[in-house]
Structure 1
Amino acid sequence: MSVRQWAADLGLGIRFAFTGGREGWTRALLTAVGVGLGVALLLLTTAIPNALDVRHEREAARSDITFALDPMPKAKDTLVIARVDAYFRDDDVRGRAMEPEGPRAPLPPGVEKFPAVGEMVVSPALKELLESDSGALLRERLPDRIIGTIAEEGLIGSAELAFYRGGEGLAEKITPGRIERIDRFGDPQPGEEQSDPVLLLLVLVVFVVLLMPVAVFIAAAVRFGGERRDRRLAALRLVGSDSRMTRRIAAGEALAGAVLGLIFGAGFFMVGRQLAGNAEVYRISVFPSYLNPSPLLALLVAVAVPAAAVLVTLFALRGVVIEPLGVVRAGRPPRRRLWWRLLLPLAGLAMLYPMIGDGRENGDFNQYLVTGGVVLLLVGVTALLPWIVERVVARLGSGSVAWQLAVRRLQMSSGTAARMVNGIAVAVAGAIALQMLFAGVDDDYTKSTGQDVSRAQMEATLSSGVPMAAAAEKFRDTEGVKAVYAFSEGYLGDRAQEPEHGTTITVGDCASLREIAGLPSCADGDVFAVHGAEWDTGEDMTKLAAPGRKLYADPSYEGGPKRHEVPWTVPQDIKAAKPREGLAAGTDRGGFLITPKAVPDALAPALDGHAYLKLDRSVPDVQDLVRNTASAIDPLASTVTWAETERAERFDAIRTGLFVGAACVLALIGASLLVSQLEQLRERKKLLSALVAFGTRRRTLSLSVLWQTAIPIVLGLLLASAVGLTLGTVLLKMTGTPVRVDWVGVLYMTGIGAAVVLAVTLCSLPPLLRLMRPEGLRTE
């Protein structure tokens, strides 16, 4: 067979798709919509790496806090910048205070001029929030006048909340990590993060699991209207077409729908790209300009989708005999064979088996074996499900009229029913495996903070020199604050410069000090030395706490800035105290504890303020009320909400990416299933109308449609659970993690799949009722 003959037959099929009357273009349109939805998500997926790269580049370009121990000298091109991040409810607000020191001071990306004291430049999203009623509490904390907005190049996302405000007197408060002097923006020491084999494995599996349902739906979409198409193709046999030519013409029709689907998909993608600029999913937002697909990957999609349409159509017609007077599919189809369907998942397991037990110690996992193994296991779901549906429905017995109608329909076209739920089954199987893998390795990336949330729920850090007694009183007056433990904290060394030994110093009232140490008795004016604390492991507190010994607060170190170096003499009446687990960390706090009356005035500038607050969570927005109080006490104050555990950022980012991708895939699944369901109902319009004309109740037909969806989806979810548990077990063994099954998570994933199908079925009921009319028997 020549290429020319192939091209002619495919071209004839394309003509039939668009000139074959309403039946032809309706099928082409349905195929195009189904394929277009899948193509749009594929294009979005190819754009994600570029979006992540742009976000990383924007974040690096505006980097300003360097944690440099040796501050650079003041010059005409220097800028003092302070980190004044804020939080509003559950959202992070990136904040900076700036004080230029010369005419050539660097401007941050996206900012045209420096705001003066009392002015600020904000992101568009923050401006909208501050001007709305819901942002009233945040407006109290950020009362500065807005003089402009940050341009796109200064933000990592369209929904990011960020501001730059004018500052003064920052140079006197330079502290590494909080207030620093810089001469340019950007990461001074860019470097690559060390790869983690388990995290790379997670990324690979996430991409495969998210893309497989898309491929399955595209393959199912090109087969829309297959039965009617085959009956129309039978007419071609009457005018001399042989069976091979007929199959090529059918492939041409599918090719036409796929090419039209590419156009639809590009349109859907452009619409979604613009909508992405106004959306935020799991706190991740992007600008439309970020979502530029890789040209090579976009070209791959453009070639692969039409090619897949032709191959899937030829594969689907391999068992269909199209004769001049009809299609033999109407007869009893041959029983499906099991042996080759089992080869796919077994081959997948064989590809993954060599990596079992590798863990983290033996380098990265082979990405080709991982991808191939996971793909084969998930493709095995699509191969096994038609066989299972055929075997089960063949054994279903009698029941109500709705049940019999549904079972008989499934017995005649079990393959069509299986194709409808294949995508759901693949998605659920992958989700179960990923859930098991995430749950299994979660402990490796989650660590305890050591914070006792039963004793305090928030911490406020204030600048040195802020009177803590007055600050504590203001916190106590804040609505929702039940208790305040306020301390001034610093470091003592045995020498003013380059100390060899040292410990901490903590100032607070007796009630606060009892929260961090066991005191024999306490009165204002007492000084205590804590002996045996974990904090002072390796230090001899007996020597450091010897009465009359001179120590130095805030000592200086070589290569670092000049510190306060305030001398302090250990008093003669110092008391001993026992260690107790402190509020701020999981170790016992040691060092010296001093009550306010015993603190020399010269020592105050060398101490930073910390307040630990116990809150009444029933008070609305209690955390933001505390943040407003902290900002009123000290504009440079920072507040932190406590949590018992914290998760590694990269691990958390992968989880977030999975949730974002899963949301998009679920939306595609729902939309594609609805299109598929409508196509099935359209093909059966005359049958439904005939049943109604003969007196069948509409409720009976509606229930039969529900059963036709419910039976395959139950079988599909059972198969998906088995495959997902198998894949999850293998992935856990690959990472060297004990195998544990979170049955609640498994039920949750299967429940989501079932809910999507139920929602699609309910949405298809109104069109079903419109189709069940006697007018549907009219024909031309």
Structure 2
Amino acid sequence: MGVRFAFTGGREGWVRALLTAVGVGLGVALLLLTTAIPNALAERNGRSEARDDFTYSGKTLPKADNTVVIADASTTFRSKDIRGRLLEPEGTRAPLPPGLGRFPAKGEMVVSPALKELLDSGSGKLLRERLPYRITGTIERTGLIGPSELAYYAGATGLAKRLPGDSIERINYFGPSQNRTQDRLDPVLILLILMIFVVLLMPVAVFIAAAVRFGGERRDRRLAALRLIGADGRMARRIAGGEALAGALLGLVFGTAFFLIGRQLASSLAVRDISVFPSDLNPSPLLALLVAVAVPAAAVLVTLFALRGVVIEPLGVVRTAKPPRRRLWWRLLLPLAGLGLLYPMIGQGDSNGNFNQWLVIGGTVLLLVGVTALLPWVVETVVARLNSGSVSWQLAVRRLQLSSGSAARMVNGIAVAVAGAIALQMLFAGVEGDYTKQTANDLDRAQMEVSLNNGVPLTEAGRQLAGTEGVRRASAIAQSWAGDRAKDPEASLEIAVGTCAQLREVARLTSCRDGDTFRILDGEYDAKTKRLTEPGATVYFDPAYSGEPKHPTAWKVPSGLKTVGQRQDPTGYARSGLLFTPSALPKGAADGLYQKVFLSLDRSVPDAAEHARNTAARLDPLAHVFTLGASEQTKEFRAIRTGLFVGATCVLVLIGASLLVSQLEQLRERKKLLSSLVAFGTRRRTLGLSVLWQTAIPIALGLLLASTVGLTLGAVLLKMTSTPVTVDWASVLSMTGIGAAVVLAVTLLSLPPLLRLMRPDGLRTE
């Protein structure tokens, strides 16, 4: 009977069922998305491993019919990473990278669809100069980790001559390398991941629980009519459970539809450069089944729990009388129990094994559920003491005094989300220092570093980069190594070549002119290495540690060699060894040098860094260009923070949509009341302000409670990780501000339907 009432109760029944289904459906869609994440990550990782091309073995394979020389030509364009590879097949059986149908010839390239779109657009003009290859095809899905990935493969020749190199290798297969070690996450990072899942999923559960209670007052009045024709109390509650079950089942249908729509849109969305193919978002069958069973069951249980204090009599519902005051003691037990579960892990840090996952999840859930239990009591207690004020204030306060529970339910989701977000921000800010290190880069001297390794003359590299648009100054230093033998030396030292002005960037020179040679002895060199800088010693440039030396140039250290002091270069590195001005360098030694150029950029020039990268690519397609920063973060920590950002974005969208649905449901419930007030002459402005106050008061109390619980949870988590407890007040204020902004946006969006409802003809009835 309850299921039939949900669908055959006329327009009112359909609207109520539809609103419930939309609210539940939004939550179900996000739950399905969450269950699909493990499969999406597995698919991405699988495709990433299938195209692995560097073995990191340190050995060079011999040329064969089944080998290909591959070079890393990756670059960055306006903070977007572009994966690039140059290919030189050496036989008919050379392995093809996944996603390619054939090898591109020299001057050709195969690109990802996203890169093709960028290159064809007006914003990709600068990048087109850097990739001067003719596009002959696109990389198929099997060769990409996501639809928005920027990647290309270009044909090349002469790569074998540059073997061995740190970015060039000869391989005979594409796939996972036997020599690559898998990075294991430490306990603190695992704790971060656990917290992200709990914090992001808790608001979803709260919203689903609130959505199944839409239209509760009207439903109870219908149940009173059923009591009048003979239904007993237990039967009435079972019928109410049937109505909730119907809305939840319809919500599952809606949620599946929302998920499928979002799944199709996934390929066109990229958050922090993370994107997935629609086919990757396949929920785990077991987890999807769990959602399908848990949501309807929770809907029935929540409905029966809500009716526990409602007396449904044949002549009405005894809820219009003053309800009994809510008790506080059992509401405090939930957060206290949560703290009790987390307490045993305080001080564990990352050196005592992984945190107990069940205790972490259970403790966090109890603390956040404690917000939903405490908020109705807080709202009821505070609004009971609010009295005098303007007409709009009094209307809002009286409404809250009569139905503080429904107001608190609307705010619960925001409060839980903000409490969890504050705790996460505190945890991230507290442990960030463990995964972030300050660099020694001197950003006043240089902001970029370019490494060239294809025999480009030092003076030419410095001249072209210095003349690039947006480059203020370029300081080029040629570098190499010298050893006591041409092959497998026992002792070796650094070599640096540059003009006097350039050498002053890496050493403290008192006097210098072209033809001078210097030595720096401040490094931690052993006796064998120091002997290489003494007059009469013979050193060999660019010694070989495997294979035959490429440039076996011998040089005898002259007498009268000047000794100079160390100076850190713009990256903070203080070198030792031998320094040469260009004319002092032995003939033939220049062939084994590679150039390092430090660039100082003019930040007022748009795309100054991109112009510098274009010049570097013209000098050497395999040039390594680094942007110097004040700090560096580990890739695992960055990946987890990106995951948090992606998840928080989805939850915020859900929060906004669910709040809007909830607000519309509450306005629909008050349609006749609003019409009555308008008919009696109440100004629309007064009613609009009263609705705003009805939202603002619970939100303010909810955010205050959320901040308290969030700070408490954050402090406990920091204690668990053995990190000093500090409060990042900027994050706390930003989280509460975001929560308030979402509610304000929802209130503004609900004003048009509110104005339509404030008409006297709303009193018309049949």
Provide the TM-score with structure 2 as the length reference: 0.99
Distance in 1 (alpha carbons) for counterparts of 2:464 and 2:716? 57
The equivalent residue for 2:480 is: 490
Q: Contact 1:71–1:561 (CA<8 Å) still a contact in 2? A: no
The equivalent residue for 2:288 is: 298
User: Are 2:207 and 1:217 equivalent residues in the alignment?
Assistant: yes
Distance in 1 (alpha carbons) for counterparts of 2:678 and 2:655? 31
Distance in 2 (alpha carbons) for counterparts of 1:650 and 1:712? 39
Question: Could you tell me which of 66, 69, 78 is aligned with 2:55?
Answer: 66
The equivalent residue for 1:103 is: 92
- Could you give the per-residue CA deviations for residues 467-521 of structure 1, whole angstroms, max 9, x where no partner exists? 1101111111111111111011111111222222221101111111111110111
The equivalent residue for 2:590 is: 604
Distance in 1 (alpha carbons) for counterparts of 2:72 and 2:616? 15
Q: Contact 1:501–1:539 (CA<8 Å) still a contact in 2? A: no
Q: How does 1:658-697 map to 2 (within 5 A)?
A: 658-697=644-683
- Could you give the per-residue CA deviations for residues 581-615 of structure 1, whole angstroms, max 9, x where no partner exists? 1223x342111111111112311121111111000
Distance in 2 (alpha carbons) for counterparts of 1:719 and 1:641? 43
The equivalent residue for 1:5 is: none
Count of residues in correspondence between the two structures: 765
Distance in 1 (alpha carbons) for counterparts of 2:368 and 2:501? 61
Distance in 1 (alpha carbons) for counterparts of 2:763 and 2:164? 82
- Find the residue that maps to 1:589 and give its secondary structure: coil
The equivalent residue for 1:738 is: 724
Q: Contact 2:551–2:588 (CA<8 Å) still a contact in 1? A: no
Question: Could you tell me which of 490, 510, 522 is aligned with 2:500?
Answer: 510
Q: Contact 1:531–1:541 (CA<8 Å) still a contact in 2? A: no
- Find the residue that maps to 2:319 and give its secondary structure: helix
The equivalent residue for 1:51 is: 40
The equivalent residue for 2:319 is: 329
Distance in 2 (alpha carbons) for counterparts of 1:249 and 1:728? 43
User: Are 2:608 and 1:622 equivalent residues in the alignment?
Assistant: yes
Question: Could you tell me which of 282, 307, 310 is aligned with 1:317?
Answer: 307
The equivalent residue for 2:534 is: 546
The equivalent residue for 1:712 is: 698
Distance in 1 (alpha carbons) for counterparts of 2:181 and 2:496? 38
User: Are 2:126 and 1:137 equivalent residues in the alignment?
Assistant: yes
User: Are 2:62 and 1:76 equivalent residues in the alignment?
Assistant: no
Give the drift of 1:571. Answer: 2.7
C-alpha distance 561-282 of structure 1, shift in aligned 2 (>3 A): farther
- Find the residue that maps to 1:524 and give its secondary structure: coil
Which one-letter code corresponds to 2:716 in the other structure?
A: V
- Find the residue that maps to 1:601 and give its secondary structure: coil
The equivalent residue for 2:361 is: 371
Distance in 1 (alpha carbons) for counterparts of 2:312 and 2:548? 87
Give the drift of 1:662. Answer: 0.2
The equivalent residue for 2:14 is: 25
The equivalent residue for 1:721 is: 707
Question: Could you tell me which of 522, 525, 534 is aligned with 1:532?
Answer: 522
Provide the TM-score with structure 1 as the length reference: 0.97
The equivalent residue for 1:39 is: 28
Q: How does 1:2-401 map to 2 (within 5 A)?
A: 12-189=1-178, 191-401=181-391
Question: Could you tell me which of 463, 466, 469 is aligned with 2:459?
Answer: 469
- Could you give the per-residue CA deviations for residues 322-344 of structure 1, whole angstroms, max 9, x where no partner exists? 11111111111111011110000
- Find the residue that maps to 1:277 and give its secondary structure: helix
Give the drift of 1:289. Answer: 1.1
Question: Could you tell me which of 568, 571, 578 is aligned with 2:565?
Answer: 578
C-alpha distance 530-368 of structure 1, shift in aligned 2 (>3 A): same
- Find the residue that maps to 1:329 and give its secondary structure: coil
The equivalent residue for 1:764 is: 750
Give the drift of 1:537. Answer: 4.2
- Could you give the per-residue CA deviations for residues 52-91 of structure 1, whole angstroms, max 9, x where no partner exists? 1111111111111223321000000000000000111110
Give the drift of 1:542. Answer: 4.6
- Could you give the per-residue CA deviations for residues 73-127 of structure 1, whole angstroms, max 9, x where no partner exists? 0000000000000111110000000000000000000010000011000000000
Distance in 2 (alpha carbons) for counterparts of 1:168 and 1:541? 39
Q: Contact 1:84–1:636 (CA<8 Å) still a contact in 2? A: yes
Distance in 2 (alpha carbons) for counterparts of 1:199 and 1:560? 43
The equivalent residue for 2:397 is: 407
Q: How does 1:557-572 map to 2 (within 5 A)?
A: 557=545, 562-572=549-559
Give the drift of 1:580. Answer: 1.1
Which one-letter code corresponds to 1:582 in the other structure?
A: D
Distance in 2 (alpha carbons) for counterparts of 1:461 and 1:62? 26
Question: Could you tell me which of 578, 600, 612 is aligned with 1:592?
Answer: 578
- Could you give the per-residue CA deviations for residues 670-720 of structure 1, whole angstroms, max 9, x where no partner exists? 000000000000000010011111111101000000000000000000000
Question: Could you tell me which of 745, 749, 754 is aligned with 2:740?
Answer: 754
Give the drift of 1:387. Answer: 0.3
- Find the residue that maps to 1:32 and give its secondary structure: helix
User: Are 2:415 and 1:425 equivalent residues in the alignment?
Assistant: yes
Give the drift of 1:191. Answer: 4.8
Q: Aligned Cα RMSD in Å?
A: 1.2
Which one-letter code corresponds to 1:290 in the other structure?
A: D
Which one-letter code corresponds to 1:200 in the other structure?
A: I
- Could you give the per-residue CA deviations for residues 370-415 of structure 1, whole angstroms, max 9, x where no partner exists? 0000000000000000000000000012000000000000000000
Could you list the runs of 4 or more consecutive aligned residues of structure 1 that deviate by over 6 angstroms after TM superposition? Answer: none
Distance in 2 (alpha carbons) for counterparts of 1:569 and 1:239? 113
Unaligned runs of 5+ in 1: 1-11
Distance in 2 (alpha carbons) for counterparts of 1:285 and 1:141? 25
The equivalent residue for 1:6 is: none
Q: Which moved more, 1:635-644 or 1:153-162?
A: 635-644
Q: Contact 1:69–1:560 (CA<8 Å) still a contact in 2? A: no
- Could you give the per-residue CA deviations for residues 121-177 of structure 1, whole angstroms, max 9, x where no partner exists? 000000000001010000011121100000011001110000000010000102343
The equivalent residue for 1:9 is: none
Q: Contact 1:321–1:327 (CA<8 Å) still a contact in 2? A: yes
C-alpha distance 494-660 of structure 1, shift in aligned 2 (>3 A): same
Which one-letter code corresponds to 1:500 in the other structure?
A: E
Distance in 1 (alpha carbons) for counterparts of 2:470 and 2:527? 41
Q: Contact 1:43–1:298 (CA<8 Å) still a contact in 2? A: yes
C-alpha distance 570-40 of structure 1, shift in aligned 2 (>3 A): same
Which one-letter code corresponds to 1:182 in the other structure?
A: I
Q: Contact 2:438–2:632 (CA<8 Å) still a contact in 1? A: yes
Distance in 2 (alpha carbons) for counterparts of 1:562 and 1:208? 58
Which one-letter code corresponds to 1:282 in the other structure?
A: R
- Find the residue that maps to 1:488 and give its secondary structure: strand
Distance in 2 (alpha carbons) for counterparts of 1:654 and 1:447? 17
Distance in 2 (alpha carbons) for counterparts of 1:657 and 1:391? 39
